[in-house]
């Protein structure tokens, strides 16, 4: 039984690719990198649309897009320099082994930040928010690290035994994320205004659904090999990253704006500009009240 469990598999980074397969991988990486760069610039330019109360969500999205953009540049360089064209195909060299490792470096930072981004627009506050965020971010980081150990470290990802073992440990962290986030999102959706609650539910659904892509892709080398399966891995991971970081980020930005507008309308928050979402006006700009100088508290003691 142990011999069967320890049977070798072929790492996707060691498989020869055809020209079409290599070009499709490069296309998916570059397209994802451009999408992430665009999202970074959008978040940078539109940060002022959200009140300071929900701005941590936009800042988290900004950091996620920035880190992921740099990561995709590294992935492109590893894929571009990691294959030598020979005999009508692309033969991998040692540099190609780092093409997947670069993705794990990205995820180790950005996946925990995705947890913070989601919780920043939920209704949790104080210790409840801090505790939920800490557990979710720690579980996300552990999920990535344990997955990396099985996929890249132990026997360079070529042992079904280690792949299954670390996949199982990583999936335990995966489940913990859902256990922590789902109740927080459900509670928040019920207590938010209809538009904001619906947007939060959509954002959480997108994120928690696309997360299933990663453990499925992780298992592909155990059951399949060949150039098209290597291509499937890269294209699937690039598409999932764009959905999880750009698509989810846009939805969270919308929720942050809706919550800003609701707070302004309720008189709980000031915001200098009108809030518009999908060309629909949600609130007018409200400037902070400036107290006259004579009403300001005077310092104690004599002033010379």
For the stretch 22-36, pLDDT in tens is: 999 999 999 999 999
Other CB atoms within a 10 A radius of the CB of residue 89 amount to 15
Q: Could you tell me if 255 and 61 are in contact, meaning their C-beta atoms sit under 8 angstroms apart?
A: no
Please say if the pLDDT value at position 272 is more than 90: no
pLDDT at 170: 97
* Domain-embedded: residue 3: no
Please say if the pLDDT value at position 87 is more than 80: yes
- 15 or 6, which is more confident: 15
* Domain-embedded: residue 206: yes
Q: How many helices (H) and strands (E) does the chain have?
A: 11, 5
* Domain-embedded: residue 216: yes
pLDDT at 8: 81
Specify the range with the lowest mean pLDDT, choosing from 88-97, 236-245, 269-278: 269-278
pTM over 0.75: yes
Specify the range with the lowest mean pLDDT, choosing from 92-106, 135-149, 265-279: 265-279
Q: How far apart are CA 98 and CA 13, in angstroms?
A: 8
Q: How far apart are CA 197 and CA 186, in angstroms?
A: 9
* Domain-embedded: residue 168: yes
* Domain-embedded: residue 211: yes
pLDDT at 298: 61
- Among residues of the chain, what percentage have pLDDT more than 70? 85
Looking at the 3D structure of the chain, how many domains does it have?
A: 1
Residue 285 CB burial class (10 angstroms; 0-12, 13-18, ≥19): exposed
* Domain-embedded: residue 277: no
pLDDT tens readout for residues 116-168: 999 999 999 999 999 999 999 999 999 999 999 988 887 776 788 889 999 99
Q: Could you tell me if 121 and 184 are in contact, meaning their C-beta atoms sit under 8 angstroms apart?
A: no
Task: Kindly report the CATH number assigned to the domain that includes residue 201.
Answer: 1.20.1070.10
* Domain-embedded: residue 292: no
> What would the mean pLDDT of 33-61 be, rounded to a whole number?
94
Q: Which of 106, 116, 105, 108 is nearest to 36 (CA)?
A: 106
Please say if the pLDDT value at position 304 is more than 80: no
* Domain-embedded: residue 158: yes
Please, what's the largest Cα pairwise distance for the chain?
Answer: 89
Domain interval for residue 100:
12-259
pLDDT tens readout for residues 220-270: 999 988 999 999 999 999 999 999 999 999 999 999 999 998 888 877 665
């Amino acid at each position: 039984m142990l011999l069967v469990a320890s049977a070798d598999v072929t790492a996707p980074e060691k498989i020869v690719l055809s020209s079409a397969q290599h070009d499709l991988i490069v296309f998916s990486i570059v397209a994802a990198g451009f999408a992430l760069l665009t999202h970074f610039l959008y978040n940078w330019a539109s940060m002022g649309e959200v009140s300071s109360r929900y701005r941590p969500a936009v800042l988290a999205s900004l950091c996620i897009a920035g880190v992921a953009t740099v990561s995709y540049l590294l992935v492109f360089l590893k894929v571009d320099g990691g294959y030598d064209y020979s005999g009508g195909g692309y033969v991998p060299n040692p540099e190609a082994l780092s093409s997947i490792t670069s993705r794990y470096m990205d995820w180790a930072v950005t996946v925990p930040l995705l947890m913070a981004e989601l919780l920043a627009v939920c209704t949790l506050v104080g210790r409840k928010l801090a505790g939920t965020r800490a557990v979710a971010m720690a579980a996300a980081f552990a999920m990535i690290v344990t997955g990396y150990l099985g996929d890249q470290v132990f026997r360079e990802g070529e042992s079904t035994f280690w792949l299954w073992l670390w996949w199982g440990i990583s999936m335990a962290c995966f489940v913990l994320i859902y256990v922590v986030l789902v109740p927080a999102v459900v509670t928040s959706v019920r207590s938010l205004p209809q538009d904001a609650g619906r947007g939060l539910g959509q954002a959480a659904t997108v994120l928690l659904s696309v997360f299933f892509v990663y453990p499925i892709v992780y298992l592909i080398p155990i059951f399949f090999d060949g150039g098209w399966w290597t291509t499937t891995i890269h294209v699937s991971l690039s598409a999932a990253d764009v959905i999880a970081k750009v698509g989810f980020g846009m939805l969270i930005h919308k929720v942050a704006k809706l919550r800003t507008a609701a707070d302004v309308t309720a008189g709980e928050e000031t915001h200098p500009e009108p809030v518009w979402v999908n060309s629909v006006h949600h609130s007018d700009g409200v400037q902070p009240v400036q107290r006259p100088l004579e009403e300001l508290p005077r310092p104690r003691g004599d002033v010379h």
